[in-house]
Structure 1
Amino acid sequence: MNTLTWWSHIHALTILAETGHFTAAAQRLGCSKASMSQRIAELERQAGVPLVQRTTRSVRLTEAGAQLVERTRSAFTQIDDALHSVRELTTTPRGLLRLTAPVALARQQLVPRLPAFLRRYPELRLELDLSDRLCSLAREGFDLALRHTTTPPDTHVAWALCPTRTWLVASPAYLAQHGTPTHPDELAQHAALHYPRPGEQALWNFEPEGGGARVSVKLQGPFAANNSEALREAALAGLGIAQLPDFSAQHALAQGDLVTLLPHWQPVGAYGSHLWALRPYAPRVPLAVQVLVSWLREQFHPGFTP
């Protein structure tokens, strides 16, 4: 095995260590799972010791494999940094960007804006992952993530894009039939459209805008969904009252198809308070990521006021 092949195979082992799966590592490297497995097998033959422990669900490095990865990882990091530095001698961002974003936010607010971004930077290619699943950005090879949360993780670089708000909404038709609540306690008598979360009770929490004690309401209703678009559609159909993030309620409120309730009470805890762009901490942020973050801040800075 020549030196170049050695380095290629060791790099494959490094990626396998980060992902923990042959399939995920193959996707990162742009090769087949069979090719990935063959590279590791060839490396093990040359090393003369097992480097990977294989199971039906995942892989783990042996002591020898972990030592090899640990002693070579910094070299690959330096090579990657040097290559990016050379690429960025030009002022034109180019290459592939991998972005992950929540489903509802991406469908309603991000995807309609993306053509303008790609026209502005024609040498960039964008791969968008729509998922509400929290994943390891570094392990799965994402350059950036959009997250709707109150507190971003300390292990990541976080850019605040805009504050967000949760609205309590219903359709005019529902209110005409069932009446308009004037206090959170009255919601217990209404049909609630709820966003269920594992391990949590079906509750809505409210705080008075002028300050005061929090009020919690137990919910009952005909429909629950872990997607704010689905809850919005149910509210539009007159099925009940929903709590929605402003980016899902914006258009329906502007059109008058939904109306806000309890103006002097703020829903708390249902959704995040800010929209963030996140990236695992690294000493260098690639130019392509910099321009994407700048563009996202430009687009979302006004927020989602109806």
Structure 2
Amino acid sequence: MNNFSDIVAYVRVVEAHSFVAAAQTLGMSPSAISKAVSRLEERLGARLLNRTTRSLSLTDVGASFYERCREALGQLDHAESEVSESRGIPRGRLRVDVPVSLGRRIIVPALPRFIAQYPEISVHMSMNDRVTDLVQEGIDAALRVGNLSDSSLVARRIAQLRGVTCASPEFIERYGMPKEPGDLPPEHCLQMFKVGNNQTREWTFRKGDVEHKILPAARLAFSDPESAVAAAVSGAGFVRSLDFTVEAQIASGLLQPVLEDWNDGAYWPVSVVYPQHRQPTAKIRAFIDFVSGLFPQTEASASVRANGPRAPNNTSRPELRARLAAQPIP
């Protein structure tokens, strides 16, 4: 097949929804990607993409052809991985998806060490705070924060991170220090919402057997923790985020933690997930082992189904390195 590279270019354009993004992924120029897709359409005698200056959309034929090509490329990747497995060497292209803050603060800075350790692996990383369809988008593995519900995924829990509620000293002085969760007016609690469905994330407080939930209702809402923390520093209200996203602000006195004795319910797992129909190839196992070393280890580190039961983890969490930040708390 002498147009294999054109097919790869087409698949990457569809996945990235952009000629420019596909070009960056493949290390080519956008014009070269456009010419590759045009050659493929000419060879097939059919239009695969509807192009405008602002958007791309698949034709019916293009959608069907993309599914066949994506499946074929996946089979080729799998065949390559099987050969690598027989040699015991992690190699090939590894496509991973991570939350933006977690990727920016922890994973990306560590990637040079990863590719130095595994010289036959190339990493293609996407970063976003929406829940991606790993199978549909051809992702080998992803990092997720929070409890998982997708039964089509296998997960390995690699960390357990702690949340903290805080506000600026000026805000606390103005409205008072809360002694219990009921003292927190919802309108003073900054909203964090899930990308995709805009659902506001509920806050759960727990002390022993007593649990209290708050649905934030402030007039400011954010999809990422760093923006919410910045708003809290400016005196916008109370914020709840993973402790490492506010560590520097608390240390400098810009934020003050509250209700620390109600934090029994403020722990969230970090997991590496991958489709259950895929065997954890050498490159996926290498990635899991590597990112596990970037976090404190937990007892619940064995691979389990994402919606399966989990044993409680009562061990104390060791301090994670100072620059860690993670995706918005579920």
Compared CA separation, residues 97 and 76, structure 1 to 2 (3 A):
closer
Is the Cα–Cα contact under 8 Å of residues 97 and 288 in structure 1 kept in the other structure? yes
Give, in whole Å, the separation in 2 of the partners of 1:50 and 1:103. Answer: 38
Of the structure 1 ranges 170-179 and 76-85, higher mean CA displacement relative to structure 2 is found in: 170-179
The structure 1 residue matched to 2:238, chosen from 218, 237, 241, is 241
Give, in whole Å, the separation in 1 of the partners of 2:122 and 2:75. Answer: 24
The structure 2 residue matched to 1:50, chosen from 46, 49, 53, is 46
Compared CA separation, residues 38 and 264, structure 1 to 2 (3 A):
same
Is the Cα–Cα contact under 8 Å of residues 104 and 248 in structure 1 kept in the other structure? no
Q: Structure 1 regions of 5+ residues with no counterpart?
A: none
Cα deviation for residue 124 of structure 1 reads 4.5
Cα deviation for residue 182 of structure 1 reads 1.0
Q: Which structure features the higher share of helix residues?
A: 1
1:157 maps to which residue?
154
Compared CA separation, residues 178 and 62, structure 1 to 2 (3 A):
closer
Cα deviation for residue 186 of structure 1 reads 1.9
Is the Cα–Cα contact under 8 Å of residues 108 and 247 in structure 1 kept in the other structure? no
The amino acid across from 1:298 in the alignment is: G
Cα deviation for residue 69 of structure 1 reads 5.9
What per-residue deviation string (whole Å, max 9, x for no partner) do you get for residues 203-259 of structure 1? 8544443345644365447x6543323333454566542211234235556787755
Q: CA RMSD in A?
A: 4.2
Q: How do residues 1-306 of structure 1 correspond to structure 2 at under 5 angstroms?
A: 4-10=1-7, 12=9, 22-23=19-20, 26=23, 29-47=26-44, 49-56=45-52, 57-63=55-61, 76-94=73-91, 96-114=93-111, 116-121=113-118, 124-137=121-134, 142-171=139-168, 175=172, 178-188=175-185, 191-196=188-193, 199-200=198-199, 205-212=203-210, 214-216=212-214, 219-220=217-218, 224-236=221-233, 240-250=237-247, 258-266=255-263, 273-302=268-297, 305=319
Give, in whole Å, the separation in 2 of the partners of 1:106 and 1:147. Answer: 11
Give, in whole Å, the separation in 1 of the partners of 2:180 and 2:105. Answer: 31
Is the Cα–Cα contact under 8 Å of residues 84 and 282 in structure 2 kept in the other structure? no
Look up the SS of the partner of 2:184 in the other structure. helix
Give, in whole Å, the separation in 1 of the partners of 2:70 and 2:230. Answer: 49
The amino acid across from 1:262 in the alignment is: L
Give, in whole Å, the separation in 2 of the partners of 1:17 and 1:62. Answer: 13
Give, in whole Å, the separation in 1 of the partners of 2:83 and 2:216. Answer: 58
Corresponding pairs, count: 297
Give, in whole Å, the separation in 2 of the partners of 1:102 and 1:231. Answer: 16
The amino acid across from 2:285 in the alignment is: Q
The amino acid across from 1:296 in the alignment is: V
Of the structure 1 ranges 128-137 and 177-186, higher mean CA displacement relative to structure 2 is found in: 128-137
Is the Cα–Cα contact under 8 Å of residues 157 and 279 in structure 1 kept in the other structure? yes
The amino acid across from 1:226 in the alignment is: S
Look up the SS of the partner of 1:291 in the other structure. helix
Give, in whole Å, the separation in 2 of the partners of 1:144 and 1:35. Answer: 29
Look up the SS of the partner of 1:182 in the other structure. coil
Of the structure 1 ranges 24-33 and 236-245, higher mean CA displacement relative to structure 2 is found in: 24-33
Give, in whole Å, the separation in 2 of the partners of 1:296 and 1:128. Answer: 14
The structure with the largest alpha-carbon Rg is: 1
What per-residue deviation string (whole Å, max 9, x for no partner) do you get for residues 68-108 of structure 1? 66667665444333323334454443455444322322344
Look up the SS of the partner of 1:290 in the other structure. helix
Q: Could you tell me the TM-score, scaled by structure 2's length?
A: 0.67
Look up the SS of the partner of 2:294 in the other structure. helix
Is the Cα–Cα contact under 8 Å of residues 152 and 158 in structure 1 kept in the other structure? no
The amino acid across from 2:278 in the alignment is: P
Cα deviation for residue 151 of structure 1 reads 1.6
Look up the SS of the partner of 2:285 in the other structure. helix
Identity within the alignment, %: 27
Is the Cα–Cα contact under 8 Å of residues 28 and 141 in structure 1 kept in the other structure? no
